[in-house]
Structure 1
Amino acid sequence: MATLYDLLGVSDDANDEELKRAYRRSAMRAHPDRNVGREASAHAQFQAIKEAYAILSDPVQRRVYDAVYAEEMGRLSRAHEEAARAQAAREAEYARHVAVAMRFAEQGHNRDVVFGVLLGRDCESQLAGRIADGALELHLSRQAKTSPNAQEAGATPDDAGEPQEEKPQTAPERARSEEPHANTERAQANFFSAIWHGMFGLHP
Structure 2
Amino acid sequence: MTTLYATLGVQADATLDEIKLAYRRAAMKWHPDRNPGREAESHAAFQQIRDAYAILSDAEQRQVYDDVFEREMRRWEAEHAAQEAEERQAQEEARRVAQEHYEQMVAIAMRFADAGHSRDVLFGVLLGKDCETDLAAQIADSVHALQASRQACAGQACDEAVAPADAGTARTEIPISAFEAFWQGLFRFR
TM-score normalised by structure 2 residue count: 0.65
C-alpha separation in 2, matches of 1:86 and 1:7 = 33
**SS where residue 81 of structure 1 aligns?**
helix
The CA distance in 2 between the partners of 1:165 and 1:58, in whole Å, is 96
Match of 1:16 in 2: 16
Greater helix percent: which structure?
Answer: 1
* Per-residue CA distance 1:51-101 (angstroms, 9 max, x = gap): 110000001111111111111101110011101111111111111111111
Q: Tell me the residue number matched to 2:60.
A: 60
TM-score by length of 1: 0.61
> Which consecutive residues of structure 1, in runs of 5 or more, have no partner in the other structure?
115-128, 150-159, 167-180, 187-204
User: What pairs with 1:5-154 in structure 2 (closer than 5 Å)?
Assistant: 5-109=5-109, 110-111=125-126, 132-133=131-132, 135-143=135-143, 148=148
Amino acid at match of 1:31: H
CA distance in 2: counterparts of 1:30 and 1:75, whole angstroms:
33
After superposition, the CA RMSD in angstroms is 3.1
Give 5+ residue unaligned stretches, structure 2. 110-124, 150-162, 170-184
Indicate how the Cα distance of structure 1 residues 111 and 161 shifts in structure 2: closer, same or farther if over 3 A, else same: closer
Higher relative contact order (CA 8 A, sep 6+): 2
Q: How many residues align?
A: 145
Q: How does 1:163-202 map to 2 (within 5 A)?
A: 163=166, 185=189
Q: CA deviation at 1:31?
A: 1.1
Identity across the alignment (%)? 36
Classify the secondary structure of the residue corresponding to 1:107. Answer: helix
2-structure distance, mates of 1:141, 1:57:
73
The structure with the largest alpha-carbon Rg is 2
Q: Contact 2:30–2:42 at 8 Å: present in 1 too?
A: yes
**Partner SS state of residue 45, structure 1:** helix
The residue type paired with residue 97 of structure 2 is: H
Whole-Å separation in 2 of the counterparts to 1:46 and 1:165: 89
